[in-house]
Structure 1
Amino acid sequence: MSSSQELYNRLSETMSALVKVTNRKQLANWLWIVVGLLQGKSPALSQIANFLPMNTQAESRVTLIRRWLMNWHVDVWAFYEPILKHVLQGWSAVQAYVILDGVMIFGDRWQIFRVSLQHGCRAIPLAWVVVPGEGVTTVQHLKTMLEWVKRLLHNRVKSVVFLADRGFRDCDWAQLCLDLGWNYAIRVACNTYITLEDGRTGRIDAWVSPYRNRYFQNVWLTQAQKLLTNLSVTWTTDKNGQPEMVAVISNQIACRTRCENTAAA
């Protein structure tokens, strides 16, 4: 028995019990793609094709894989959701960190936004959405996806901390997290205005010297004072060896951990 067939059999034994689809051929095709991903160690279709149990030419196998992936009759979530729920078993006492990120594709004509579950040094995708256009997106475009993630994680984890970078710095993201019952740790731009508890105002980068950590409790964010939050500031070094500020807002107490969690994401 080949190593590919052996891996397929092991995966099939587990996945067949979890994934309940009426067309079992779809499950078999999907498992062979997973085998190719694992053994080829690459998402390239040409690599995956090398591990399919067929005697056809490589080009024909690539065409077949592409046809499988483009099959609109396949319900992606019928495959993926039961696996996610299985993975989350035993997480009821865990504080889960979810990460929101995005990427431009097709010449910046589309953006893919993904919410992932942080697990060690890996990110497990929980949900994703494709949005047309470029630039900073709004809460309304992704609200439905985040509400779905809330329902998925509800009663499966102890609590949730939402992590995001400067592309999601609008105060509406923090407010949505609070509405969902999540904590948040979101990186903001260093030129963001804040108002301190004593009434003093100014840009974040005016309050913190290079390589000095500072933590501010109960600050108002932006000149319009749109959000009452806590601010943690630390420093890293950019690719040119220059100091780079890392400013993170959170509804939890400002401290070094907030910056570390966001940097790890």
Structure 2
Amino acid sequence: MINGLIYSGQLSLSAWEPYVHSLAEQAQSFERRWRRFLENKRVRVEKLYLPLAMSALKDWQNHRLYLAIDTTVLWNRFCMIHISVVCCGRAIPLLWRVLEHGSATVAFNEYEPMLRKARWLLRHHPDVMMLADRGFANHDFLSWLQASNWYYCIRITCDTKLHGIRRHIIEASSIYPQKGEAAFYRNVGLWQDVYSLILWSGKVTYSPKVSSKK
């Protein structure tokens, strides 16, 4: 199964079949065997995986640990929420949850338990930076990150309302830095209700992002 997953690069059981050598003559024999394993309630993935992940992170306490939270929609029916460790340009899964939800945007209360568990698992890591896409730009998530003393960098939409940069309310699109440049702002409020936080904005990328630090 691992070989099939790596070589095919897909989550489809049927896509793994060409990479498996077996005496089975029918393709369904492979899938039935794999499904029995995947549906075996005695196999507790979390109990097997988490100790390995935490062992790999034990020597990272003196360095900033980058986490990324994201969602993946499968077959327009299921939504997987995952918190990953960013390493060498890759996102290594740490925690995940699957919901029967057809959208990539999920409510904060759906992933808050994962955040609390990640905070407990990484309690010995004093320097954690959370990366997130614009679907996670909301009051509750920012409040939780600030209360947890985690740094964070969150993408926002170009029409996000900003307060405090200029005399009048402006949109994020009006302060795009030039390519290769960065701009930083303090004491900036977000959205129409002037959500107050200390904000630094500006990234050296094509897409507009806003990064903030407590």
In the alignment, what sits opposite 1:120?
A: 88
**CA distance in structure 1 between the partners assigned to 2:93 and 2:173 by the alignment:** 34
Q: Choose the corresponding residue for 2:212, options 250, 260, 264.
A: 250
Q: Choose the corresponding residue for 2:67, options 83, 86, 98.
A: 98
Q: Deviations over 1:199-219 (max 9, x none)?
A: 542212233466464221121
2:40 match: secondary structure: coil
Q: Is 2:39 the counterpart of 1:70?
A: yes
Q: Can you give the 5+ residue segments of structure 1 that lack an aligned partner in the other structure? A: 1-32, 238-244, 253-265
**CA distance in structure 2 between the partners assigned to 1:135 and 1:128 by the alignment:** 14
Equivalent pair of 2:73/2:104 in contact (CA under 8 Å): no
Equivalent pair of 1:49/1:61 in contact (CA under 8 Å): yes
Q: Deviations over 1:39-68 (max 9, x none)?
A: x35344346456667422252123211221
Amino acid at match of 1:105: L
Q: Deviations over 1:134-190 (max 9, x none)?
A: 3632211110011111111121x3411010011111122111111222111111111
TM-score by length of 2: 0.85
- Max Rg structure: 1
Aligned residues: 210
TM-score by length of 1: 0.70
Equivalent pair of 2:177/2:202 in contact (CA under 8 Å): no
Q: Choose the corresponding residue for 2:56, options 87, 92, 117.
A: 87
Q: Is 2:139 the counterpart of 1:171?
A: yes
Equivalent pair of 2:65/2:85 in contact (CA under 8 Å): yes
Residue 125 of structure 1 deviates from its aligned partner by: 0.3
Residue 117 of structure 1 deviates from its aligned partner by: 0.3
Amino acid at match of 1:215: F
RMSD: 2.5
Amino acid at match of 2:61: S
Matches within 5 A, 1:1-265: 33-38=1-6, 40=7, 42-43=9-10, 44-46=12-14, 48-49=16-17, 54-57=22-25, 59=27, 60-107=29-76, 109-133=77-101, 134=103, 136-155=105-124, 157-196=125-164, 199-208=167-176, 211=179, 213-234=182-203, 236-237=205-206, 245-251=207-213
Identical aligned pairs, as a percentage? Answer: 25
State which drifts further: 199-208 or 45-54: 45-54
More helix by share: 1
Q: Can you give the 5+ residue segments of structure 2 that lack an aligned partner in the other structure? A: none
Relative to structure 1, the CA distance from residue 47 to residue 193 in structure 2 (aligned partners, 3 Å threshold; closer, same or farther) is closer
